[in-house]
Amino acid sequence: MNITSFGNALQIKGPTIYRWYRDVLSDYAKDKGIVHKHDVIKSVGNKESPIEVPIMKEENFGANMAIDEKYIGEDFCTVLSNRDSGKLALVCKCVNFSDLQLVLQQHSHLTKNIKTITRDFSSLFEKVCTKLMPQATQIGDKFHVIKNLLEAHQDVRIRFRQQELDKRRKAHSEFKKSEKERLLACERTGNKCKPLKFKYNEDKMSNGETLLEVLARSRYLLYKYPHQWSSKQHNRAQIVFEMFPEIQKTYNLCNQFRNLMSKNNVGKHELTIDKELNQWYENVEEADIDEILNFKSMVETNEDIITNYFINADTNAIAESINSKIQKFIITNNGNRDKDFFYFRLANYYA
């Protein structure tokens, strides 16, 4: 809860009750403001500098972990969380391998017990998991896979929308050029000339929208399956697919991949999954759409960890959930200016 709001309810000034809570009522006072007990010292030349580790809870390490990054205040932090308990195990203010290696090597007796770890497709986390947790099975997070897929799909729609906007820009340039010539002609003849306003005439589609409006408003329907469309979205989709067959091809390929990644395929034999995935690869090659080809390349690069999802349907949902809770905590408490106290409370609530 926001401490200031709590103070307002008691008719006490927010800063006053905040100070009472921090310095007297909470256990923070017993620590004398020293929260970063787990800092690791690294040597840089002849100097020593600390790697800040605000949260380190050994009891929260387990067999199934998740790793992700979170922007807290002005710092990018690496967050390690327990997928079974949903608790924070580690928050470290660094996102480079050398620093993380120094931190995690001090707790190698814990990391060696990790059996599975879910992650996104960051090269940093790939290196961390491979080098520092070699015994753990890495699982590519389904959320990030689908997110990248849908972004690639939207990029195709945006590309065609930019082409339509480009037509309007060129029409406007032609108008300015002709208007300038008309004004010069009026000056030579001594006639008065009233400037004209630019009007771009666009054809209306069957649903009463212009092509630019249809492309802009079709954003959300492309996230859905056809049976989830409303009648208006169905009409809009028909227009988009008729005018831009490439968007329809992309949409069909997206739905094929989403069906492949559904829970219905969890537990299937890996050869069955490989067969379906290779068929999808062939369909993408045949469609020859750059945005989807780029996504296909990402999938091929990370195929081993993506297909590990089908073993037990493990995802990075816990890590994403904790990230959203931390963000809500930051917003509710008006940021994290008092960083030591912020991490003290964060550890109490989520670790």
pLDDT in tens, 122-137: 899 999 999 999 999 9
Q: Are residues 259 and 123 in the same domain?
A: no
> Looking at residue 314, what is its pLDDT?
86
Q: Which domain holds residue 333?
A: 34-139+315-350
- Cβ proximity of 65 and 81 under 8 Å: yes
* Among 194, 173, 168, CA closest to 182: 194
Residue 90 lies in a domain: yes
- Residue 134's pLDDT is 92
Q: What pLDDT is stored for residue 286 in this prediction? A: 95
- Does some domain include residue 97? yes
Q: Are residues 78 and 112 in the same domain?
A: yes
Tell me the mean pLDDT in the region 277-286. 95
Q: Which pTM was predicted?
A: 0.82
Judge whether residue 223 has pLDDT over 90: yes
Q: Which of 164, 159, 162 is nearest to 200 (CA)?
A: 164
In a shared domain, residues 130 and 147:
no
Q: Residue 207: what pLDDT?
A: 87
Give the pLDDT of residue 147: 93
**How confident is the model at residue 100, as a pLDDT?**
92
| One domain for residues 329 and 265 | no
pLDDT tens column, 15-64: 888 888 888 888 887 765 555 567 887 777 678 888 888 899 999 999 99
Q: How many helices (H) and strands (E) does the chain have?
A: 15, 8
243 plus 274 within the same structural domain = yes
Q: Are 67 and 80 in contact (CB under 8 A)?
A: yes
Task: Tell me: do 225 and 289 sit in the same domain.
Answer: yes
Q: Does 255 lie in the same domain as 296? A: yes
Chain mean pLDDT for the chain: 88
DSSP state of 204: B
**Close Cβ partners of 23 (under 8 Å, ≥ 6 residues apart):** 29
Q: Tell me whether residue 38 is in a domain.
A: yes
**Position 334 confidence tier, pLDDT thresholds 50, 70, 90:** low
Q: Give the chain's domain count.
A: 2
Contact partners, residue 303, CB within 8 Å, separation at least 6: 277
pLDDT score recorded for residue 323: 81
Q: For position 322, which CATH number holds?
A: 3.30.420.10
Same domain, 67 and 147: no
- Residue 95 sits in the same domain as residue 239: no
Asked if 256 and 335 sit in the same domain, the reply is no
Is there a domain that residue 3 lies in? no
Average pLDDT (247-275) is: 93
Euclidean distance between CA atoms 240 and 246, whole angstroms: 10
Q: Which amino acid is at 46?
A: N
Q: What is the pLDDT of residue 333?
A: 67
Three state DSSP letters for 284-347: HHHHCCHHHHHHHHHHHHCHHHHHCHHHHCCCCHHHHHHHHHHHHHHHHCCCCCCHHHHHHHHH
**Stretch 194-199: mean pLDDT:** 84
Condensed to tens digits (0 to 9), the pLDDT of residues 137-194 reads 999 989 899 999 999 999 999 999 999 999 999 999 998 998 888 888 888 887 878 8
